[in-house]
A and B are shown apart, each in its own frame.
Chain A
Amino acid sequence: MNRHRARVGYLFVAPFLLVFVAMLVVPLAYAGYLSLFREQLIGGTTFVGLENYARALSDERLLGGVLRVGEFFLIQVPLMLLLGLFFALALDSGMLWLSRFIRLGIFVPYAVPSVVAALMWGYLYGPEFGPIAQLAETLGLPAPNLLGGSLMLGSLANIVTWEFAGYNMIILYAALRAIPSELYEAAAVDGAGAWRTAWNVKIPALRPALLMALIFSVIGSFQLFNEPQLMQRLAPNVIDSAYTPNLYAYSLAFTSQDVNYAAAVSFLLGVVIVAVSYTVQLAANRRRTP
């Protein structure tokens, strides 16, 4: 009976695992394999061991891209998560009028494709006919060059924040709704007000949800591609082909046709993401149990 049940269990998980192996494990292994070779004009493809990785680790264009997305992560993610947290707490406090409308309105950008978001903000940022520039002109102020070198990273951070703050709000809000009432009752007995309840009960209870949101943000930041790729056309002098590691891997594979090196770069990027994610988790867990 139990052996039969175990077999049934395998049958239930088999379809997922089959596709998982075919679409995730195999490509990953293939990327690892490819990254160990080099294609040469003379002599064809040769095994070069870790040479591509050595090249990647001293490739200033790649390192520049990694640093840039690292900076992006440090600027954008705290801002986005704090906004999401603030919105979720405000909604959960019961102190808002129109809370349903506000909640859905803030969440709507999540359903907008990043391509559309980037195109839209690209027009809004536009120095010639963008409304931001128009407003500045009407007020007689110098229009900020939102597509210029110094502001571009911030402009991209704004697009991503616009897209995902509402999503994070919903995740955190859902977690807040699931806090058992006993915790609130205990806080009420202690005479805690709204702010102290938020600080002492709600935020600690949000830990797992915040950590999950943070991990997804690590992944999203370091993979940054769509937004800069679309802004590239508006500001080709600011966003080059190695602006982010993913743009670089893309141009290596499809413009330079150097798939072996592109595979090594993709693989390294994956390693960076996993390493940062684990660091974030370790840091979070260490703080929980000092």
Chain B
Amino acid sequence: MTTTATAPVTAVARAEGRGIAGHRRSPALTLGMLAFLIYFLLPLFWLVVASTKTMGDLFASFGLWFADDFSLPDNLRRVFTVQDGMYGRWLLNTAIYAVVSAGGAAVLAALGGYGFAKFGFRGNKALFGLVLGAIMVPSTALAIPTYLIFAKIGLVNTPWAIILPSLVNPFGLYLMRIYAEDAVPDSLLEAARIDGAGEFRIFRQVVLRLLAPGFVTVLLFTLVATWNNYFLPLIMLNDPSLYPVTVGLANWAAQATVAGGSGDVVPLVVTGSLLSIIPLVAAFLMLQRYWQGGLATGGVKQ
């Protein structure tokens, strides 16, 4: 990937519905898009409906509508009390792994991206090229050797086994570098240097603020990647009290399959699934102004 396009990133925040003047809104296109929207929201609607049902109703009643018994409170109580409240533990683990990994990855990417963008040290291009190439290295191909190394140094079955590999986000570095190139004017850096500010003070007090949208983007997307991670914790952890919610739910689902209809585990899987997606959906909705702007950077340039 080489830098080719140089369109300004600032154009993102423009008002919606521009383009050629005099556009009419189209009922047909809107209806078509609403049909697609139903496809994307229907499974989530099913999940909400299913989490209000008893085990019996899950099998007996129509899947896409509520049954007579409203058992959501009961399901919620059970989710948080079975196995001594293991589910709450899983949620907490997920939050810790995701927040620490995302925070760390975003800080590393911001420091590195700024360093690559604004300092012409020897080997800059070669090192950055190396990192870019690594975007294509599949993370699952790394998981097995990482597991073997961690097993040797005693990191398996600890939170670090999840956090450390999640700190490296080559795409995040790439995003921060192109973001820093545009968002941090050289003249501002020069002025701060003439004022006698040290490089790290400049970074903390001037640069970081300018990088905020890019920073939030990397933060959110690493958060999603870690929150949703399944393969890595699946192989790294075998102590259920360390599981993130993904591995925990998959375990419950496996029990439900083994137990067939008798285990009464399916409502736990369904209600637990619903609860596990709420925090991320909320984070995306609340922070949309930031990440939508930050994302444009990655898409516009190559």
Tell me the A residues contacting B by CB distance below 8 Å. 5-13, 15-17, 19-20, 22-24, 26-28, 30-31, 34, 83, 87, 90, 92-100, 102, 104-117, 119-124, 128-131, 134, 162, 165-166, 170-172, 174-175, 177-181, 184, 187-188, 192-194, 197, 207-209, 211-212, 215, 219, 222-223, 225-226, 229-230, 233-234, 246, 249-250, 253-254, 259, 262-263, 266-267, 269-270, 273-274, 277, 281
13 contacts between A and B (CB under 8 A): A10-B119, A15-B111, A17-B127, A28-B141, A90-B29, A90-B33, A97-B30, A106-B40, A109-B44, A116-B276, A119-B253, A226-B231, A234-B257
Take A96-B25, A177-B12, A266-B141 as given contacts and tell me if A230 and B120 are in contact as well, using a CB distance cutoff of 8 Å.
Answer: no
Q: Decide: B26 and A124 in contact? CB cutoff 8 A.
A: no
Please, which residues of chain B bring their CB within 8 A of the CB of A114?
A: 228, 230
Quick check: B33 and A87 within 8 Å, CB to CB?
Answer: yes
A-contact 0/1 string along B105-134, CB 8 Å cutoff: 000110110111011111010010001001
Cα distance A253–B293 in the bound complex, in angstroms? 42
Residues of A close to B167: CB separation below 8 A: 19, 23
> Known: A9-B121, A93-B23, A130-B63. Is A120-B112 also a contact (CB below 8 A)?
no
Q: Are A269 and B46 in contact (CB under 8 A)?
A: no
Instruction: Knowing A23-B146, A223-B140, say if A98 contacts B30 (CB, 8 Å).
Output: yes
Known: A115-B249, A180-B11, A212-B299. A194 touches B20 (CB 8 A): yes
Is B144 in contact with A262, judged by CB distance below 8 angstroms?
yes
Complex: chain A residue closest to B9, CB-CB: A178
Q: CB-nearest residue of chain A relative to B250? A: A115
Given A15-B111, A97-B30, A208-B4, residue A28 in contact with residue B235 (CB < 8 A): no
Q: Which residue of B lies closest to A208 (CB)?
A: B302
Listed from nearest, the 9 A-B pairs whose CB atoms lie closest are A9-B119, A12-B115, A94-B17, A131-B63, A16-B112, A208-B302, A209-B299, A175-B299, A174-B296
A24 / chain B contacts, CB cutoff of 8 Å = 134, 137, 142, 168, 170
B299 nearest CB across to chain A (Å): 4
Is the CB–CB distance between A263 and B40 below 8 Å? no
Q: Are B285 and A197 in contact (CB under 8 A)?
A: no
Partner of A94, one of B4, B23, B144: B23
CB distance from A259 to the nearest CB of B (A): 6
Q: Are B136 and A215 in contact (CB under 8 A)?
A: yes
Cα(A174)–Cα(B19), bound, Å: 14
Contact of B148 among A117, A194, A259 (CB under 8 A): A259
Closest chain A residue to B65, Cβ basis: A131
Report the nearest B residue to A170, measured CB to CB.
Answer: B295
Query: Which residue of the partner chain A has the closest CB to B199?
Result: A8
B168→A115 contact, CB < 8 A = no
Q: Contact between B25 and A95 (Cβ–Cβ < 8 Å)?
A: yes
User: Once bound together, how far apart are the Cα atoms of A180 and B37, in whole Å?
Assistant: 29
Contact A19 B46 (CB under 8 A): no
Interface residue B280 (Cβ < 8 Å from any Cβ of A): yes
Tell me if B191 is interfacial: C-beta within 8 Å of chain A. Answer: no
Interface of A is mostly: helix
- Chain B residues lying within 8 Å of A233, measured Cβ to Cβ, are 253-254, 257
Does B59 count as interface, using CB distance less than 8 angstroms? yes
Contact check: which of B29, B32, B122, B165 meets A93 at CB < 8 Å? B29
Of B63, B118, B235, B269, which one neighbours A254 at CB under 8 angstroms? B235
- Are the CB atoms of A27 and B115 closer together than 8 Å? no
Query: Which chain A residue has the least Cβ–Cβ distance from B277?
Result: A112
B246 within 8 A of A: yes
Which A residues are in CB contact (< 8 Å) with B32?
Answer: 90
B82 an interface residue at 8 Å Cβ cutoff? Answer: no
- Do the beta carbons of A111 and B295 come within 8 Å of each other? no
Cα distance A8–B114 in the bound complex, in angstroms: 11
Give chain B interface residues in 224-249, CB to chain A under 8 Å. Answer: 224, 227-228, 230-231, 235, 245-247, 249
Q: Tell me if B144 and A116 are in contact (CB < 8 A).
A: no
- Distance between B16 CB and nearest chain A CB, rounded to angstroms: 6
Checking B34, B124, B146, B292 against A174 with a beta-carbon cut-off of 8 angstroms, the contacting residue is B292
Task: Flag if B299 contacts A172 (CB, 8 Å).
Answer: yes
Contact partner, B277, options A95, A111, A131, Cβ 8 Å? A111
Q: Chain B 269-287 against A: per-residue CB contact (8 Å), 1 yes, 0 no?
A: 1100100110011011100
On chain A, the residues within 8 Å of B89 by CB distance are: none
Known A12-B111, A208-B5; contact A269-B295, beta-carbon cutoff 8 A: no
Q: Which residues of B contact A99 (CB under 8 A)?
A: 16-17
- The answer to whether A124 touches B116, judged by C-beta atoms less than 8 angstroms apart, is no
Bound-complex Cα distance A106 to B33 (A): 9
